[in-house]
Chain A
Amino acid sequence: MSCVVEIRDLSFTYPDGHKALDHITLDLAHGEKVALVGPNGAGKSTLLLHLNGILPRQTGEIRVSGLDVSGKNLGRVRALVGLVFQSPDDQLFSPTVFDDVAYGPIYQGLPAEEVRQRVQEALERVKMSEYSSRVSHHLSVGEKKRIAIATVLSMKPAVLVLDEPTAGLDPRARRTLIELLRELPITMIVASHDLPMVRELLPRTVVMDQGRIVADGPTATILSDPDLLARHGLEQ
Chain B
Amino acid sequence: MHANFLDPYQEGTSPVHRLDARIKLILVIAFILTSALTPAGAWPIFTLLLSLVLSAELLSDLGIVFFMKRALLALPFVLAALPLLVTVDGVVLLALPLGLSITQQGLERFISISLRSWISVQAAVLLASTTTFPEILHAMRALGLPRLMVAIIGLMWRYLFVMVDEVLRMLRARTARSGESEFSGHRAGGTIFWRSQVAGGMAGSLFLRSLERSDRIYHAMLARGYDGEIRSLPQPGLRPVDWLVLFIVLLLLLSLLVLSRILWG
Contact = CB atoms under 8 A, between A and B. Distances in A.
Interface of A: 52, 54, 75-80, 83, 85, 89-95, 99, 103-104, 106-110, 137, 151-152, 155
Nearest to B176: A83
Nearest to A75: B180
Interface of B: 169-170, 172-182, 186-190, 194, 198, 201-202, 204-205, 208-209
A41 to B, nearest CB: 15
Q: Most chain-A CB neighbours within 10 Å: which of B176, B182, B187, B188?
A: B176
Contact of B182 (A79, A92, A103, A107): A79
Contacts, number: 86
Contacts of B180: 75-76, 78-79, 108
Contacts of B194: 106
Q: Most chain-B CB neighbours within 10 Å: which of A83, A108, A155?
A: A108
B179 A80 contact: yes
A107 B179 contact: yes
Contact of B177 (A76, A103, A137): A103
A224 B124 CA distance: 62
Contacts of B189: 107, 109
Contacts of A151: 177
Nearest to A157: B179
B191 to A, nearest CB: 9
Contact of B179 (A91, A93, A104, A137): A104
Contact of B173 (A91, A106, A155): A91
Contacts of B187: 109
A137 B208 contact: yes
Contact of A155 (B169, B177, B201): B177
Given A103-B198, A109-B181, A151-B177, A75 B188 contact: yes
A95 B179 contact: no
B161 to A, nearest CB: 16
